[in-house]
Chain A
Amino acid sequence: MTIRITKHKATEDFLKLVQEKADVNLSSCYQCKKCSMGCPVADLIKLPPSEVIRGLQLGAGTELLNTDLIWTCLSCETCYSRCPNQINFPAVIDALKSIALEKGAAKPAGDAPLFNRLFLNTVKSYGRVYELLAIAMYKLGTGNLKQDMGKFPMMLKKGKIAILPPSGANKDKMKRIFSKSAQNKGTEK
């Protein structure tokens, strides 16, 4: 796939922002493409890891926020593990994700941001993940109630998923961590 790059001041800032957030130096990439060769979702996406890096090197900006790799990535870390220059590409993906969330980029296939938000909401409330609630809310939120419904009775019967919410966590500490994180986000902007 080709991406059209319009180079201007804003895109230079974009590269800088991504590199800062991910704590990487993308100029050390010499396009050996080992990351793309080992990527387990390379056949499903338009722009594999090495091309996302090339795009950033050449000054691509917010157009990368809608690239399909961002929310298709499995966080398997194979790219990072095999990179001869130790570029932490999964951190680049995380940086692009958080910028996409801040800028309100288009909702990706599967709506992982919704799932992550619901997952973290249960962590905020209970101190630990309440799997059943996060999954149920996600299924409601995406309107995909039918998928997996057949599995739940058996999983519940076998005790493969808990019905009751988790207990025993230090919830006050969780509140503090989440509120600090929200505060810091406010000052970063």
Chain B
Amino acid sequence: MRYAYYPGCSAHSTARDMHESCLAVSKALGIELNEIKGWTCCGASAAHQTDRKLAVSLASANLLLAKQMGMDMVVNCAACYNRSKTANYEIINSENVRKSVADSLGDTYDGSVPVRHFVEILLKDIGPVNLRKKIINPLRDLKVAAYYGCYLVRPSEVTNFDDPENPTIMESLIDAIGGTNVEWSGKVDCCGGMQNLTQTEITVRRSAAVIDMAQAAGAECIVVACPMCQVSLDVRQADMEKLLGRKYNMPVIYLTQLVGLALGLSPVELGFNKLMVNPAAVLNKVKAAA
């Protein structure tokens, strides 16, 4: 299993925990991730809000490098995933976009590199059956709310990830590692991450609503696959307390971190020490189960 790996900018900053846990899990499962040399920013939300053509060109630069490596491109960040898939979609469907990308890169790119989120690799290439065989610390009765947010599932014609209203990929994996999925209706709601710095109160209210729903469903932690969701839900809990006048203490962890725990990897190796909301409740439960 060899892939071209696109870490994305946040992998070396606010989502280092996501990146580190992905690498550790890959190593444990024999997944070979080859980091794309010289990779550049996909443009994130700033580029498409400024100039959609620029956004497609920025994402295509990395897709072209992956194409030259002859491998599928694996992405961990849901926003990079969405932007890269959007670039492929627009290049395939528009002659104009193809031309503008060729002019911008000085090379042609045809939109053909498969872009895959690491969660898809775990489900489809490894598979729940094989994953289950490698489990050392099954999560037993840890109650988990699988949270997808926006970028993985929408628009589904572009991402083609799973059912956009009721995805279940993460639940299948959580089930395979021995966790208990809670039933809840917040899994594809928006955390408001895009306004995290610009109109913070919107993010705080949206993210609090997501946590409230997970809590009401009995979840002991929320599991995410997007750095924007992770930062909004985790880092903003102190602001939720201030704004809404009630206590928030919900660990928000990456799916790769939870899978890593079940594989017997150490919390430090998986970046648990970087989380703002103390994940002790999760760690103690997994340890107790071991």
Contact = CB atoms under 8 A, between A and B. Distances in A.
Interface of A: 21, 23, 40-41, 44, 71-78, 80-81, 86, 88, 91, 94-95, 97-98, 101, 109-113, 115-117, 119-120, 123, 127-129, 131-132, 135, 138, 147-148, 150-151, 154-155, 158-162, 166, 168-170, 173-174, 176-178, 180-181, 184-185
Interface in B74-120: 94, 100, 103-106
A73 to B, nearest CB: 8
Given A131-B9, A173-B38, A180 B103 contact: yes
Interface centre among B94, B154, B197, B274 (most CB of A within 10 A): B197
Interface centre among B57, B103, B104 (most CB of A within 10 A): B104
Given A97-B50, A101-B50, A155-B276, A127 B41 contact: yes
A181 B53 contact: yes
Nearest to A83: B155
B156 A81 contact: yes
A75 to B, nearest CB: 5
Given A97-B50, A98-B52, A123-B41, A76 B190 contact: yes
Interface in B253-283: 273-276
A112 B49 contact: yes
B44 A119 contact: yes
Interface residues of B, number: 57
A129 B154 CA distance: 24
B202 interface: yes
Instruction: State the 9 A-B residue pairs at the shortest beta-carbon distance, nearest first.
Output: A110-B198, A170-B38, A76-B190, A77-B154, A162-B13, A116-B46, A110-B199, A119-B46, A129-B9
Interface string B44-77: 1111111111100110010000000000000000
Contact of B276 (A76, A135, A154): A154
A123 B150 CA distance: 24
Interface centre among B52, B105, B200 (most CB of A within 10 A): B52
Nearest to A80: B155
Contacts of B155: 77, 80-81, 88
B172 interface: no
A184 B53 contact: yes
Interface of B: 9-10, 12-14, 16-17, 38-41, 43-54, 57-58, 61, 94, 100, 103-106, 150, 153-157, 164, 189-190, 192-195, 197-200, 202, 206, 235, 238, 273-276
Contacts of A86: 157
B41 A75 contact: no
Contact of A111 (B198, B206, B275): B198
A148 B200 CA distance: 10
A170 B157 CA distance: 31
Contacts of B53: 181, 184
A176 B104 contact: yes
A112 B9 contact: no
A129 B44 contact: yes
Given A75-B45, A120-B47, A169-B40, A159 B274 contact: yes
A80 to B, nearest CB: 5
A42 B200 CA distance: 17
B33 to A, nearest CB: 16
Given A74-B202, A131-B10, A138-B197, A181 B57 contact: yes
Contacts of B103: 180, 184
Nearest to B164: A81
